[in-house]
A and B are shown apart, each in its own frame.
Chain A
């Protein structure tokens, strides 16, 4: 049955690497050209599979960085001991081919109608900003006026992904940074890990019935999600996506 698409099943497809853009020293955005891409929603991801010459395969999930309707793109953070990310962030060139399946996910997904106009709180640890960026781009493309705040925790200013884009947020969008390890000399913003006090200052009041999306390293997500619940957010209004122990 190889090569036969079974209805309802995800199939591996060949993707061709398009333009690559370095975002930071450790992260790179890759456009992927996939014939017959069925479209996706903001917050979804794809699985990428690489096959070595000896047949060994490695597979990882990467959030889509692009909004629905935009050219397909992922942003990948290099993990020095990773099996897939070093190739994607250092070696992949336009024209290279790899295997992709997707779009994947229905839980960590935002659509312009999600939340019924309630304010949107996005909390990112490190490269957890990638699906949240897709949400912000989708919000803009859809002409949504839902008020949105992005709380973005990064090790340093140099590690901030999408720096220039987030520097000019759309109307109704605020971006609040916290830099946990090092800060520029004149830094006026937060300079610590996200904590209860920071959430109380930044998060929309629970009375506004906000919808929250939290993505990042597991410890970051656990801490932020429980902090939001402590502020009165119903657990069902806090969507979480954890990507393990990677740096924040």
Chain B
């Protein structure tokens, strides 16, 4: 009688864990299904969805969301949110574009300085980081809720992006050999080993981020802050400092995206990056990161970004209207969160089950 009971329980446990595995891999499965579906559907139209050229194009698109998503993942892991990333993309594109197009004008000295492209890239990245740093300081030192603080920064950065050019575009960013500032297109259009530079940038940032998240105290602290701020504080973690750092990193990632887009277009437009923050958040959520903090992975975000990218590009190729694309995107995001809730419930059920089993066997 007793053995029978334990056996039953074992079987039940197995079901729970199989379900959990499926749940945890759900985004990956979704990506897989989407890819297969588009491959079959598009082959009717004579398009090879899995051709290397197509895959690289999709990845290039994905890289934009993914880079923003990586920065966003760390922010959300601490329990925060960053709504300003799209605007930072915009302002950083304008900073880079302005420095190439008309240089740094210093009226009091009557000179205009033109920098080398790589110096410009560096300056732009630092500016993105500083804007993130301001976000972090506003949130941690002045106790402004992350949602509000970064919402404000979203408007401020977008405003300055327009102010820089009076609302117009900085065109022709090829540079001038006479000014020694050519070569900007390389970031957006260049290739190394047949792979676009933007994908290399994504790879480098991704690998560093995964390492930091998994193998360094800093990464562990980020998870701890999101999981329990009080306990983190009492463990000697400098919660404010690390939270600030995380927003600065998100700003840095946004700056990279701003540079990549300006380079791809060989022009900088102040409205670039509008609503990008939402795709980034969607990628993070699809990747299984909990908006309440403490749970999630950078790798998950990349898969989430791919789901969004494959869905978007596939639907475009299918000829689905943009309006319907939005509807589908929205449904996918909500479905992902519903699955997330189900997973949480399964987990806590499993926890109670193990404890009850322990007690019964004791």
Pairing of A with B: no
Which of B's residues lie within 8 Å of A, judged by CB? none
A residues whose Cβ falls under 8 Å from a Cβ of B: none
